[in-house]
Structure 1
Amino acid sequence: MRASLLLSALSVSSVMAAPVLPEINANSVHADSLKQVSDYFNLLAVKVQQSKFENAVPTCDLSKVVMPQAPSFGLTLKHVALGRGTQNYTCDLSNATALPVANGAVASLFNASCIVAAYPDIGAMLSPVSMNFNLSNLASIAQSLPPSFLKQTLAPTSGMAVSGAHYFTNSTTPFFNMDASAWKIGEAPCAKNNSTPAPEAAAKGQKGEKAVPWLKLVTRPGATGGLQEVYRVETAGGSAPETCKGMPAEFEVQYAAQYWFYGN
């Protein structure tokens, strides 16, 4: 029972069947990319083997799950999502030494609650491993109204259902739409409250980009589902180059991150 549930939750069979989309990005340049994928599937195989000899059924109980940084007192963890998409930037083409300017982000959110709750060691690997695979469709989710974004898939966790979409409604408002999924988790317009540099060991992007910072976001008026805080942690890739030299006026950098949603 436990083994079959683990296989179902992580869709090992669908991954092993080598789906046409999404596919591993063979152009990923960082040296650890193949090792990350190998370590992930080796650990997954160990978990499946162990589960054959255990009677306990994995659960989605988030009450004892601990985030890498502490949320505000009294809040309850409502949802954990793997975000996979792009950080967007603009450049002043008249000044090659100018810094790229952040211009929002777009990402699909995949339901990682059960994986993080039952198998935290596997959950910790989701961001770096997912950076080695292309999303099935990175077309602008912001212009693709629900439920079309629910069709997104991502290896190596193609069995993880989409729980929502992340985009910006204006230059300063990151937005999380999780009302179109089966769980009706809520919607959360947010404002940045705090930022911490990603750990030195954080996974790089497909072209060697550094991981974007970890963030604490607080919800703005209009949030639903009791959501109050959103934390972006376990980031991989997404950072812009140091200057605009050789860059176009607008460009995207692929990234992955975990988003932890807290409320009351």
Structure 2
Amino acid sequence: MLAFLLAPSLLSALITCTAAAAVCKPNKDTCKLDGLSIEGLPSTLPVPTLPLSYVAAAIGVQNYTCSAAGNYSSIGAVAELYDISCLGGSKLFTTIQDRLMGLWEDAPNGLTAQKLVSSYTQTKANTVLGDHYFVPNPSGKGGLSPKWDFTSTGSTKRNKNAFVIVEKVGGATAPTGKQDVDWLATKSVSGGLAGLVYRTDTRQGQPPASCVPGQSPNIQVKYASKYWFFGGSVHHK
């Protein structure tokens, strides 16, 4: 609980301005995407061919249901995304997902990622980019598709095109271990936010190995990651 009580100032330091990390609050002059790229990209994922538009850290939950086969299957995810472009070139950029995961794990039961974010980012340098969740497949073929939605906050607020719905084009086991959800490459099927979205640097998020069909309830598993947005017509400011 002590870690949680200290979290507001720590979270602000992690994402906004900290002299120790030599980073600054977001503005058009100091927060650059130049030189930022995915490190350690597995060979099974395609190399991005579009320019980087946004880079974010996220905390949220992976959602699962118990299948008839006795294992958990994914039914989507919900997450909040922070702008971390201003951390580029600092050691904190490399470790931000670990630090956020620590805060997220220490948060009391019942506190959502959205409430955590809204409680700790009421600053002049609001770093929330938007939300990640799943929607019905826009093709009408059934199932769910990942969506990133930047239409409700920051410089893209009320921009109806500041979203992207994607389909998977590649995946790779997390190099950090089986407890972490896969790294992913996806491409846009709708929206102007990005042409490609990658999930990397994942922490946690995997479900238990087995469940009891008809008895085990749906579960939510906390996770953190980085998300990279390439291309699109809605750009970082």
* TM superposition score normalised by structure 2: 0.70
Q: Which deviates more from structure 2 when the two are superposed, residues 236-245 or residues 254-263?
A: 236-245
* Residue pair 1:150, 1:181 contacting (<8 A) in 2 also: no
Tell me the CA shift for residue 179 of structure 1: 2.0
Partner-residue secondary structure (3-state), 1:59? coil
Cα 1:181–1:118 change in 2 (3 A) is: farther
Partner-residue secondary structure (3-state), 1:183? helix
Q: Which runs of 4+ in 1 moved over 6 A?
A: none
* Residue pair 2:126, 2:154 contacting (<8 A) in 1 also: no
Residue number among 63, 67, 91 corresponding to 2:34 in the alignment: 63
Residue number among 164, 169, 183 corresponding to 2:130 in the alignment: 164
Q: Distance in 2 between matches of 1:114 and 1:238?
A: 26
Tell me the CA shift for residue 22 of structure 1: 5.5
* Residue pair 1:150, 1:163 contacting (<8 A) in 2 also: no
Residue number among 174, 179, 183 corresponding to 1:210 in the alignment: 179
Tell me the CA shift for residue 59 of structure 1: 2.5
Q: Deviations over 1:231-262 (max 9, x none)?
A: 00000000011111598320000000000000
Partner-residue secondary structure (3-state), 2:154? coil
1:234 is the counterpart of 2:201: yes
RMSD: 3.6
Could you tell me which runs of 5 or more consecutive residues in structure 1 were left unpaired when the two chains were aligned: 1-17, 25-39, 52-57, 142-148, 203-208
Partner-residue secondary structure (3-state), 2:167? strand
1:106 is the counterpart of 2:78: yes
AA aligned to 1:257 is S
The equivalent residue for 1:263 is: 231
Q: Deviations over 1:5-30 (max 9, x none)?
A: xxxxxxxxxxxxx8576699xxxxxx
* Residue pair 1:60, 1:118 contacting (<8 A) in 2 also: no
Q: Deviations over 1:86-126 (max 9, x none)?
A: 0000114xx6x7110111000011111111x242x211111
Q: Distance in 1 between matches of 2:174 and 2:119?
A: 26
* Residue pair 1:108, 1:152 contacting (<8 A) in 2 also: no
Q: Percent identity?
A: 26
1:249 is the counterpart of 2:224: no
* Residue pair 2:7, 2:103 contacting (<8 A) in 1 also: no
* Residue pair 1:63, 1:76 contacting (<8 A) in 2 also: no
AA aligned to 1:251 is I
- Superposed, 1:1-16 pairs within 5 Å as none
AA aligned to 2:112 is L
Q: How many residues align?
A: 198
Q: Distance in 1 between matches of 2:62 and 2:118?
A: 18
Cα 1:151–1:234 change in 2 (3 A) is: closer
The equivalent residue for 1:195 is: 171
Cα 1:91–1:190 change in 2 (3 A) is: same
The equivalent residue for 1:129 is: 99
Q: Distance in 1 between matches of 2:220 and 2:36?
A: 33
Tell me the CA shift for residue 192 of structure 1: 1.0
